[in-house]
Structure 1
Amino acid sequence: MKNSSLDSAEETDPASHWDFNLSAVIASASASASASDAIGVLEFDHTNSLLATGGIARKIRIYNAQKFPMLEEGGGAATVVDHAAACDYYMYTPAKLSSLKWKPGSGSRLIGSGDYDGVVMEYDLEKRVPVFERDEHGGRRVWSIDYSTGDPTLGASGSDDGTMQMWDTRCHAGTSLASVRPALSPVCCVEFNPFGGLTVAVGCADRKVYGYDARRMVEPVFVLEGHDKAVSYARFLDSQTIVSSSIDGSLMMWHAEERRLIRRYRGHVNTRRFVGLSLWRGGGLLSCGSENNRVFVYDKRWGHPIWVCRFAAHPQGFVSSVCWRQTPGPGESCTLVAGGSDGVLQVFQGQPKSCLLYH
């Protein structure tokens, strides 16, 4: 299903608008990298200067993103380094990580995590110590956490226990502020509206995306239905537009207030795993991983990918996480980082071929 106002902007060869090039490969420290170092989450901080990674290895690794463009200066070939050389520092965590979020208003000092043991942690990166711990999910795996930018005292987490818990970020213990159970199935993702609103989107294994008003956590203010299988990610593209990802092998773009599907995106392979979803909001590009070990980029205006790149061959490998660096707008160059189930990071630089991409 497509929206006619967006269709009018379509052109015959969307792939010709962008050039993407691999600029750096950050390899696992072990030549025999395996699923023990799989990357589950990538997050740039609010200044786009630091990149945090987490996953199966029980480490939060911090990279200085300002170094990424410098890796291009090698005569055109991608620079290959290992994590030990590229990583500024890392911290061990008690459990495997499924989610990371930088805390708004803390500069680049505080980062929160959700883990396989059902615990939400917060870490002070200057002191390299945990400073916050919550356990409202009964030990069931936390798939996703987020902080509100509209009200910095609010945080939320979603879990295998089927609940989304909302909590006060100033309190280190105690019961949650609100708890909702959208369906009798796991909550796979939560995201507050990053444009200052108090709506929180919740994606569930029952194939739906629910929207709640954070001021009144009773009934959802919208429900988006259309996926055939569990919803793994839900992200805000703008204040009214949400992009969701599902293990039905598709992304969907929605007008949330109107509860209307704008477009479906297909091309990647996703039938049973979390493969990441990231939106470059300024440039209108979407990216996800794939179970065929490729990273995919979609333009929001077209339902088919505009660029696909295969990771190095690895038995049973897949691209497990992606993250855009949020540069200002469509006339700019862009940076996309993708992580694999083998622990390898790849950094891609994109350049627009025409300044007439958007109007």
Structure 2
Amino acid sequence: MSTEALHQSVSDDAQPERARREWDFRLSTVVSPPSSTASDASDVIGAVEIDQSDRLLATAGIARKIRIYTLAGLLPSDADLRHSSACDFYICAPAKLSSLRFRPGSGSRVIAAGDYDGVVTEYDLDRRTSISERDEHGGRRVWSVDYSPAGDMAASGSDNGAARIWDTRCPAEGTVVHNGISPVCCVEFDGADCGPLIALGCADRNAYVYDLRAVGAGPVSAFGGHARTVTYVRFVGGGRMLSSGTDGAHRMWEARGEREIRAYRGHKSGRSFVGMGLWRKGGLIGCGSETNEVFVYDLRWGEPIWVKSFGRAGAGFASAVCWCGGRDGSGGGDDCMLIAGGSDGVLQIFSGRRNSCRNIN
């Protein structure tokens, strides 16, 4: 969905049922966790990331491993469901992992990980070893890491209430952007068109936007519509951003105006991080739910357009999600994949395709 189309559609009164018929999703691949061992008390997936080329898939979590997959190798060659359990390789980390991000401009060969010991580590995937470490959060859990679109800056948010940014080209200590008393659960640089901004989601129930040209001046926007912790933030484009909270709602805002445009409800998130991903080209939100289901929302409507069981009810929940373009390689907004990792260590890939207009009128 283009930015222009989004501007038009957010005020439309079209029925959500049309959007439900507009998209078809199906389960393509199930990747089971490796057999548990005495050293792996849990295999909860806390982060799922795809590189900029939509070629490499990475997961991480409680098991202290970054697992790397070639995405094409996970997809079935026909319409049949594919099952797998093996990754291409993995890198052992010294602590439980909460977040991952591929570094832009590195040719998908560098990935950053935030861990429960408060350290952000960059790993070289060719050498399968760490190349830098930053321990600037006082040993408190790092919830989120992100890179600027050019890869020259990085950011982290932590349980110690601070968000930091730093220049990835030098080892100097990072700059504190936000220093509150509540944990910073998510950080994201503007990868759309709002400007040189960074957004934060915090346990004080607020989301904040800072201008990188004047971080010392305080936030340019503060969004207080959530009733509980803000767990995820995403820039939409067109001057808008999304936030997600443990109040069971996603909310879309004007990034610089603090006006709420729309709330999205249907999934359940009362105490858990259930993942939230935005596919800008198609105008879709994906997330998990404590009901052990995966939800998809269209940005134009507040109700979900697709809901799918992630497994047996009560047996866990989807804990991390991300989007990537479809396997047709067109780069358009009509073909996509939603990748979801679960609290049981299972990874599921759903293929989505937009129906032709004649099928939805």
TM-score, normalised with respect to structure 2? 0.90
The residue aligned with 2:332 is: 329
Q: Which residue of 2 aligns with 1:191?
A: 188
Map 1:46-85 → 2, pairs under 5 A: 46-69=52-75, 71-73=76-78, 76-82=79-85, 84=86
Q: How far apart, CA to CA, are the structure 2 residues paired with 1:250 and 1:237?
A: 16
Alpha-carbon shift at residue 166 of structure 1 (Å)? 1.2
> How many residues are aligned here?
346
Which residue of structure 2 lines up, in the alignment, with residue 117 of structure 1? 117
Find the aligned partners of 1:114 and 1:306 in 2 and give their Cα distance.
33
Distance 1:105 1:112 in 2: 13
Partner of 2:3: none
Using the TM superposition, give the Cα deviation of residue 255 of structure 1 relative to its aligned residue in structure 2, in angstroms: 1.4
Distance in 1, matches of 2:267 and 2:207, equals 21
Q: Give the Cα–Cα distance (whole angstroms) in 2 for the partners of residues 345 and 316 of structure 1.
A: 14
Contact 1:162–1:187, Cα closer than 8 Å, also in 2: yes
How do 1:194-273 residues align onto structure 2 when only pairs under 5 Å count? 194-195=191-192, 197-218=195-216, 219-238=218-237, 240-273=239-272
Match of 1:15 in 2: 20
- Structure 2: how far apart are the matches of 1:118 and 1:249? 27
CA distance in 2, matches of 1:156, 1:80: 36
Q: Give the superposition deviation at 1:351.
A: 1.5
Shift, 1:5, TM fit = 5.9
Cα distance 1:273–1:44, how it changes in 2: closer, same or farther (>3 A)?
same
What TM-score, normalized to structure 1? Answer: 0.91
**RMSD of Structure 2 on Structure 1 (CA):** 2.2
CA contact (8 A) 2:74 2:82 kept: no
Give the letter aligned to residue 222 of structure 2: V
| 1:333–1:9 CA distance, 2 compared to 1 (3 A) | farther
CA distance in 2, matches of 1:160, 1:31: 29
Gaps of 5+ in 1: none
Runs (4 or more) in structure 1 with deviation over 4 Å come to 31-35, 355-358
TM-superposed deviation, 1:326: 3.8
Inter-partner Cα distance in structure 2 for 1:325 and 1:169: 25
What SS is found at the alignment partner of 2:10? helix
C-alpha displacement of 1:67: 2.5
Instruction: Give the Cα–Cα distance (whole angstroms) in 2 for the partners of residues 72 and 280 of structure 1.
Output: 24
SS, match of residue 126 in structure 1: coil
The residue identity in structure 2 corresponding to 1:108 is S
- Taking only the aligned residue pairs, the percentage that are identical comes to 51
Please report how far the alpha carbon of residue 348 of structure 1 lies from its aligned counterpart in structure 2 after TM superposition. 0.7
Question: Contact 2:293–2:311 at 8 Å: present in 1 too?
Answer: no
Supply the distance in 1 between the matched residues of 2:256 and 2:210 (Cα, whole angstroms).
12
Cα distance, 1:180 vs structure 2: 2.2
Aligned partner of residue 166 in structure 1, secondary structure: strand
**Does the residue aligned with 1:40 lie in a helix, a strand or coil?**
strand
Say which SS state the counterpart of residue 15 (structure 1) adopts.
helix
- 1:349 aligned residue: 351
Structure 1 Cα separation of the partners of residues 55 and 336 of structure 2 = 14
